[in-house]
Structure 1
Amino acid sequence: MNIENIKFKFLKMKHLKVAFLAVLLTVGFSQVNAQDKNNPWQIGFGVNAVDFYPTNIEGMVTPAGNSTVWFDEFGNADDHYNIIPAITRVSVGRYLTDGFSFEVGGTLNKIEKIGDVVASDLSYFAVDGALKYDLNNVIGETAWFDPFLHVGGGYTWMDDWGTGTANGGLGANIWFNENVGLNIQTNYKHAFESNIKQHFQHSAGLVIKFGGTDTDGDGIFDKDDACPEVFGLAEFNGCPDSDNDGIIDSKDACPNVAGLADLNGCPDTDGDGIIDSKDACPKVKGTKANNGCPDTDGDGVIDSKDACPKVAGPKANKGCPWPDADKDGVLDKDDDCPKVAGPASNKGCPEITKSEVAKLTELFKTVYFDTGKNSFKEETVSKLSEAASIIKKYSTAKFNISGHTDSVGSAARNLELSNSRAAAVKDFLVSKGVSAANLTAQGFGEDMPIASNRTRSGRAENRRVEIKLID
Structure 2
Amino acid sequence: MKTTKIFSFIFLLVISSATFAQDELQITAKDSVVQSSWIVGIGLNAVDDSGNVFDGIFNVGKEWNIVPFPSRVSIGRYFKNGLGLEAIGAYNTYMEGNIIDGNVISEDIDYYSFDGRITYDINKIIGQTGWFDPYVGVGAGYTDANNKGRGTYNAVVGFRTWFSDRWGLDFNSTGKWAMSQGEGATNHIQHAAGVVYQFGIEKGLSKRGEEKLELLAAIEKEKQRQQDSINEVNRLKDEALLAERLKKQQEADALAAAEKAKIDALNKKKEEIKSRIESLGNVYFALNSSVVNTSSKKVLDSLANVLDEIPTLKLKITSHTDSRGTSKYNDWLSQRRVDKTKAYLISKGIAEDKLVTEAYGETMLLNECDDNTYCPENKHAVNRRSEFVILEF
Q: TM-score with structure 1 length normalisation?
A: 0.36
> Which structure is larger by alpha-carbon Rg, 1 or 2?
1
Pick the structure with more strand per residue. 2
Pick the structure with more helix per residue. 2
Q: TM-score with structure 2 length normalisation?
A: 0.42
Higher relative contact order (CA 8 A, sep 6+): 2
